[in-house]
Structure 1
Amino acid sequence: MADGIQNGQAKRVSNAAIFAGCAVFVAGMVGAAYASVPLYRLFCQVTGYNGTTQRVEQYSDKILNKSIQVTFDANISPGLNWEFKPAKAVSPKIGETVQIEYSATNRSSKPTTGSAVFNVTPMEAGAYFNKVECFCFTEQTLQPGQSVQMPVVFFVDPELATAPETKNIKTITLSYTFYPSEPSKPVAALPEGQKAGAQKTGTQNTGVGKL
């Protein structure tokens, strides 16, 4: 009888522990959802992990006589009333620099701001997809009904054709997702004639000694 009571108590304790663990997990996932965009941005910029592309300052100096198909995908997060269209697929030579354009239109009746995150599939190709110019992580504020063209300039690193994990890849897809964001407030300029040091101490520059 005593063993049965102990077993019942142990089972209740175990169930309570499982429930508590699930609650903590759910709370963590909710928090992660709110922080996902800025954390994703930081993580991508630092690591280039999980199919994220590389940002470079110069073009490829080598072009192979081999083409690869590049397709494009466009997504909008709930809460942003935009129309977001991808560019048409292209088939550049590996190493060739290409410019394409996405387009976005604000369908709401007020100015709205969005910021885009991105990824590349298959994930193994992310390290070889080099962007020279893009609109990722840059705030885009559109007026009601306004449309914009957003260029992306890129090339596929020739090493993709020889790396064991990527040499058989025939198609790469670049995908962007726009999320709603609050426009950044401009930093207020110092009043004319006021010194930076005076602002820090809370004193005003009276202009004494000024020629």
Structure 2
Amino acid sequence: MNANTRTLLILIVVGFGMLGLGMSSAKIYDTFCKITGYGGTTQQAEENLSEVIDRKVTVKFDSNVADNMPWVFKPQQKEMEVQLGQSGLAYYTVKNESDHPIIGVANFNVTPIKAGPFFVKTDCFCFTEQRVEPGEELPLPVLFFVDAQMDEDKRMDEVKEITLSYTFFESDNQAQQATETSGSNAEKTLN
């Protein structure tokens, strides 16, 4: 094998490697953020095993919907004060103002970004897609705690407030599920 052929093969392998990395980078980045809390990504846990300590933080709640999504989405409380390690239960409300069912998925983050690794959700509407019928209004709970280990991190000494923010988007599965639903309805009509 001559030098030109070897160089060509190396460039082809590198090119395919870069293409593969580019195609999977969003999933890799999402996994990285979930593990490290980078970018304000919160943590998830099955239950709260954190010790409750005296230090308190105020958790503020924010809500948004993607452009052209006919939902009204609001927190039921603007803020709540919790002790580190103490479980908190907050509710958001969503209403579908369209004339057809919509499946939504919520993305979330916290600010300040450095608080992400300490903000832990044990149950959240954001873990699954939400199907909301026309005119339907639903309460959406989120059960969370701020890990007491935050008190041991000197970078977190000035953090007195944490904002939990959600943005709802239409699910990528929207078109597929709409087709399945209309097919199911056609079958019911025939029977």
Query: Same fold per TM (> 0.5)?
Result: yes
2:83 is the counterpart of 1:96: no
More helix by share: 2
Partner of 2:62: 73
Cα distance per residue 1:2-56 (max 9 Å; x no partner): xxxxxxxxxxxxxxxxxxxxxxxxxxxxxx9xx9997875554454321110001
| 2:183 match | none
Structure 1: 5+ residue stretches without partners = 1-31, 189-211
8 Å contact 1:129–1:154 — kept in the other structure?
A: yes
- Bigger Rg, which one: 1
For structure 2, the residue ranges without an aligned partner over 5 or more in a row are 1-22, 181-191
Q: TM (normalized to structure 1)?
A: 0.66
Q: TM-score, with normalisation over the residues of structure 2?
A: 0.72
CA contact (8 A) 1:73 1:86 kept: yes
- Structure with greater contact order relative to length (CA < 8 Å, sep ≥ 6): 2
Check the 8 A contact 2:34/2:42 in 1, yes or no.
Answer: no
- Superposed, 1:119-198 pairs within 5 Å as 119-181=109-171, 182-183=173-174, 185=177
Equivalent residues in 2 for 1:7-156, closer than 5 Å: 44-88=33-77, 89-156=79-146
Residue by residue over 1:59-110, the C-alpha shift from the partner in whole angstroms, topping out at 9 and shown as x without a partner, is: 1341111211000000000131000001311001111011111110000011
Question: Structure 1 residue runs of 4+, over 6 Å off?
Answer: 35-40
Q: CA deviation at 1:140?
A: 0.7
**Percentage of matched positions with identical amino acids:** 39
Root-mean-square deviation (CA), in Å?
2.6
Secondary structure of the 2:116 match is: helix
